[in-house]
Chain A
Amino acid sequence: MIPANFNYHKVTSVKEAIALSTELGEEAKYMSGGHSLLPMMKLRFATPEHIIDISKIEGLSYIKEDGDMLKIGAMTTQTEMEHNDLLKENYPIMGDAIWLTADPSVRNVGTLGGNIAHGDAANDQPALMLAMRATVVAEGADGTKSIPIDEFFHGFYMTALEPSDVLTEIQIPKAKKGSGGAYVKIERKVGDYATAGVAVHVELDDNGVCQQIGIGLTNVSAVPMRLERGEEVLRGQTITDELIAQVGKIASEDCEPESDLRGSEAYKRSVVDTITKRMLNKALERARQ
């Protein structure tokens, strides 16, 4: 399997990338890790005429807390995230997800930005971002934009990014006391894309009342999906087993899985119910620590 011909361009700054992309137009594609894009090109599902390599742009690989935000550079690889002490310490949901994403060699190359920009509901990071209420920061011909994650995913492989926009940073509200998150996916074997995945982020006040809650689902809808109806049930409440059960049920109702090689629609709905409950419990447990 060999990609069709294309022209490769290396850029070393975001500006240069945007200028080149604007010049080359629709037939140009950015490549960061290339571990979503190149496999599609090898299968000839994608045949861009130009590849603009943005992986050599310096300064887009970092993980830091800044003010009340956690900021991760778009070019940070999943391996860098896996071994980062700050994430290990305060954002265990990241470790949950990355451990279950692809395999270590893929994670050595695949980037956080690419995982999100790909706009694929089968990828794991979108659900996390939805749950954690991330903001996507991008640079484009018209300057810097901050896109709330709820407005980011538009359709199958479609996002709010213009073709020449470079995703530069992900911002996530900083973990505070009383917050916790968890992610799990059911997979047919290790390294597989999710049969179904659930990300939960919860914030409790001192009395254990749920102040903020985010639930994101992986690969059970065409577009990465936030479980808003479920979140509403929990927000402002002291979370009980009954409420958790109710949200599990809502998740199984609201998701939109299709029957395929990963299982029947009914199976996927049932699994979503189960793992939503499990992740709510796990996130709560972490929030209460």
Chain B
Amino acid sequence: MGKHNVTMTINGESVTAEVDSRLLLVHFIRENLDLTGTHIGCDTSNCGACTIMLDGKSIKSCTYLTVRADGANITTIEGVAAEGTNSHLQQAFHDQHGLHCGFCTPGMIIRSMDLLKTNPNPTEEEIRWGISGNLCRCTGYNNIVKSVQQAATEMAKEKEASV
């Protein structure tokens, strides 16, 4: 059983740790770093509750070895916006009632961040396909779609204002 030193940036802070080869990134985040906003829902890479941002791309952290994240830049739900503030997506999920139990929400938000980065103005169909790796059992998705649409609009407005 190998041990490895890893250093990575999580939510803007550098962390160093010694980890086992097999330690899954989701457990490192939840148990070693106590960032419990990232959840586990399936263990088989199907539900997306564990989605985090790694080097600017959404990934399922239950299917990623911690050692492989050595040197990576990671954002979890806790680092999406400054303490006490909402990102456009967080605000939109609140405004549009895009969450019920909240268990899928961190993964949904991180996945949607990646989606809006690659496709800032998605159609309803593109949103639905874009979040298809993230399951929600509560909302029926209508309001999640609306949340992503609201965030897209707000982000476009902000971009326009800044140019």
Q: Mark B2-44, 1 if CB is under 8 A from A, else 0.
A: 1010000000000000001110100000000000000000011
Contact B68 A4 (CB under 8 A): no
- Whether, in the assembled complex, B120 has its beta carbon less than 8 Å from a beta carbon of chain A, the answer is no
Contact B21 A8 (CB under 8 A): yes
For the complex, what is the distance from the CA of A199 to the CA of B65, rounded to whole Å? Answer: 33
What band does the interface of chain B fall in when counting residues whose beta carbon is under 8 Å from A?
20 to 34
Name which of A103-111, A124-132, A210-218 contacts chain B.
A103-111
Complex partner residue of B67 from A3, A8, A106, A108, CB under 8 angstroms:
A8
When distances are taken between beta carbons in the complex, the residues of chain A under 8 Å from B88 are none
Residue tally, chain A, CB below 8 Å to B: 31
Q: Mark B69-113, 1 if CB is under 8 A from A, else 0.
A: 010000000000000000000000000000000000000000100
For the complex, what is the distance from the CA of A55 to the CA of B48, rounded to whole Å? Answer: 22
Q: Known contacts A2-B24, A7-B21; decide if A191 and B46 are in contact (CB<8 Å).
A: yes
For the complex, what is the distance from the CA of A4 to the CA of B24, rounded to whole Å? Answer: 12
Contact A83 B118 (CB under 8 A): yes
When distances are taken between beta carbons in the complex, the residues of chain A under 8 Å from B65 are 8, 34, 38, 51, 53
- A109 (CB) vs chain B CBs: closest residue: B59
- Would you list which residues of chain A between 90 and 106 have a CB under 8 Å from chain B? 99, 102-106
Chain B interface, >50% SS class: mixed
Instruction: Name the distance in Å between A249's Cβ and chain B's nearest Cβ.
Output: 33
- Whether, in the assembled complex, A1 has its beta carbon less than 8 Å from a beta carbon of chain B, the answer is yes
When distances are taken between beta carbons in the complex, the residues of chain A under 8 Å from B44 are 1, 39, 42-43
When distances are taken between beta carbons in the complex, the residues of chain A under 8 Å from B57 are 79, 105, 108-109
- Whether, in the assembled complex, B139 has its beta carbon less than 8 Å from a beta carbon of chain A, the answer is no
What are 16 sample pairs from A and B whose C-beta atoms fall under 8 A apart?
A2-B22, A6-B22, A9-B2, A34-B63, A35-B63, A39-B63, A51-B21, A53-B67, A103-B132, A103-B134, A104-B114, A105-B59, A105-B133, A106-B60, A106-B133, A191-B133
Give 3 nearest A-B pairs by CB, closest first. Answer: A103-B133, A8-B21, A1-B43
Which residues of A approach B to under 8 Å, CB–CB? 1-10, 34-35, 38-39, 42-43, 51, 53, 55, 79, 83, 99, 102-106, 108-109, 190-191
Which residues of B approach A to under 8 Å, CB–CB? 1-2, 4, 20-22, 24, 43-46, 48, 51, 57-60, 63-65, 67-68, 70, 111, 114-115, 118, 129-130, 132-134
- 4 further A-B contacts with Cβ under 8 Å, apart from A5-B22, A105-B134, A106-B45, are A55-B68, A105-B133, A109-B64, A191-B132
